[in-house]
Structure 1
Amino acid sequence: MPSEIELSRSHGSIASFASFDGTSISCRRPGSGPPVVTVHGSGGGLHSWQPVAEHVADRFELWTPARRAYAPSGPGRSPKRFADEVGDLEALIAEIGRPVHLVGMSYGATVALHAAAAGLPVRSLVLWERPLYAAGEELTPVLTEFEELIANGDRRRAERLLAERVARVPVALLDSMDAGEPADGEPDEAPGWRGDLASMAADSPDVERWSTVTAPTLLRRGADTWQPMPAALERLATALPRVTRTAFPGQLHFAPSTIPRAVAEEIPRFLPRP
């Protein structure tokens, strides 16, 4: 009998597979061509790369998983570590059966770097604004406060805490974006955020370790994204041995959602063809 992954190759439906520890990981698979695996950021899911995927599915076989702890994938073990998500990617690549290009957004870009550094069969990396500075024990009190706010049912303040203390979004920008209380029926992303925070708190801010990543890497950012993101990306660029940089004029961290066609067009320009 064909596996769910095999069925998704022909039907493009949501499929799932068991990762190294038995965690169920769900993914979509649109398109055909060289395999590209997208890794979404914090507070994301199956939908995160969809706006971009629509513009490149005619050239690539896209695999768009929901990371562990983000529905409909399973919760995985706790506390989560980056090694767990590297294991998930390793299991997915084994299902695909050939080396892949990895495209990571924000936190997902960090996962992609860990995967490449671990020696997974990665042909190239396309990374969108990896939050290089969001790592280490300084995030432990943020995780504690986040858990307290979620336990008290204060989801709005919990999300604001993450934006201010982890993403370091300027307060004025946050105020202009404030959409009020989360609407009923919105997916509960607290388990995913909790796992991501635990991974970041246990990680290292050391940049030089990424010098072992030899895959060709495209670093992309919005030209108007707030500090310290641009400075952090510049430090990463100095550590990577094979790096290309590009910036999107007039854009912030959210460009993959606001200008998906322009973001998508950079992918086939960079990725090596067979």
Structure 2
Amino acid sequence: MVNESGTRRELGTLASFDGTDIVWRRIGAGDPVVMVHGSGGGLHSWQPVAERLADRYAVWLPARRGYEPSGPGHSPKTFADEVGDLKALIERIGRPVHLAGMSYGATVALHAAVAGLPVRSLLLWEPPLFAVGEQLAPVLDEFRDLSAKGERGRAGLLLAEKVARIPAALLEAMGASEPAAHESDEPDDSAGWSLDLESLIAEPADVERWSAVTAPTLLMRGADTWQPMPETLDRLAAALPHVTDVPFPGQMHFAPSVAPDAVAAEIARFLSVTD
């Protein structure tokens, strides 16, 4: 369908390799750009950036398995499952794509690239490659326990401290250091977070393996994002053979949401050169 502004929009569902329903939204027309959301996200996560690219590209926004309205899939989940879902979507699109990923979604994009999916370029926003390994297993157990008790504020704070490793001073400045009650109409993303943690627990901490990525890569980062993200991204930039490393002054991990104009402009600039 075409909305009042003339932008083409479509919402659809496809069955992935194991039958899991993956819901996607498409905005605009042109060369396809698939944008993969991070943990705690959904169809809305890349929307502000996608709207600013839709005059030049067909932007595809899938909801990853575990995140409504897509299906839950099986447990434990792995990054191979995420790659299988992207493979099904790219087959639905019918041509190679530019692949963007935000946070956890950027790690999914890296996996898709080395798995041989038809990816013309990678557009990565701060993949959290430090948040992996068996040390997250107790975090998953505690998160599930808090979620089962309905203590979503405490569960969210646990993720911020133990997975994202947001410094205490920043959490206090954000007003997140004390768990707050959630509004009843807020979506419950605990199922998706649990599945993402399963994948992260099984993930090795070998950043150098991403040297196998052959696609041109735009690595985006907030210049003010907290450690250990900057150190990890430095190592990733050194490993990637065809990388353009772009910091965003005055921004942190949340820039795709709070500064979509700047992020969309950088993506458009990179794609204009890559094309």
TM bucket, shorter chain: over 0.9
Q: Which residue is 1:21 aligned to?
A: 18
Specify the alignment match of 2:191 in structure 1.
191
TM-score by length of 1: 0.94
The residue number in structure 2 matching 1:82 is 79
| Count of residues in Structure 1 that have an aligned counterpart in Structure 2 | 265
Q: After superposition, where does 1:32-47 map in structure 2 within 5 Å?
A: 32-47=29-44
1:210 equivalent to 2:210? Answer yes
Task: Give distance in 2, aligned partners of 1:238 and 1:248.
Answer: 19
SS at match of 1:62: strand
Equivalence for 1:97: 94
Distance 1:142 1:63, change over 3 A: same
DSSP 3-state at the match of 2:245: strand
| Alpha-carbon distance between aligned partners in 1 of 2:46 and 2:269, rounded to the nearest angstrom | 18
Partner of 2:164: 167
3-state SS of 1:25 partner: strand
Partner residue, 1:266: 266
Give the match for residue 121 of structure 1: 118
Q: Which moved more, 1:171-180 or 1:219-228?
A: 171-180
Q: CA deviation at 1:273?
A: 5.5
Unaligned runs of 5+ in 2: 1-6
Q: Is the 8 A contact 1:34 1:273 kept in 2?
A: no
Relative to the length of structure 2, the TM-score reads: 0.94
Distance 2:30 2:257 in 1: 24
Give, in whole Å, the separation in 2 of the partners of 1:243 and 1:176: 34
- Which whole-Å CA distance do the structure 1 matches of 2:153 and 2:245 have between them? 35
Cα-Cα RMSD:
1.2
* 1:257 aligned partner: 257
Could you tell me which amino acid in structure 2 is paired with residue 199 of structure 1? S
| Whole-Å separation in 1 of the counterparts to 2:181 and 2:125 | 28
Gaps of 5+ in 1: 1-9
The residue aligned with 1:247 is: 247
Which residue of the partner structure matches residue 3 of structure 2? none
1: distance between equivalents of 2:41 and 2:175? Answer: 18
Residue identity matched to 2:153 = R
Q: 3-state SS of the aligned residue for 1:144?
A: helix
Contact in 1 for aligned 2:8/2:29 (Cα 8 Å): no
Q: Could you tell which deviates more after superposition, 246-255 or 177-186? A: 177-186
- 1:158 is matched with 155
Q: Matched residues, percent identical?
A: 67
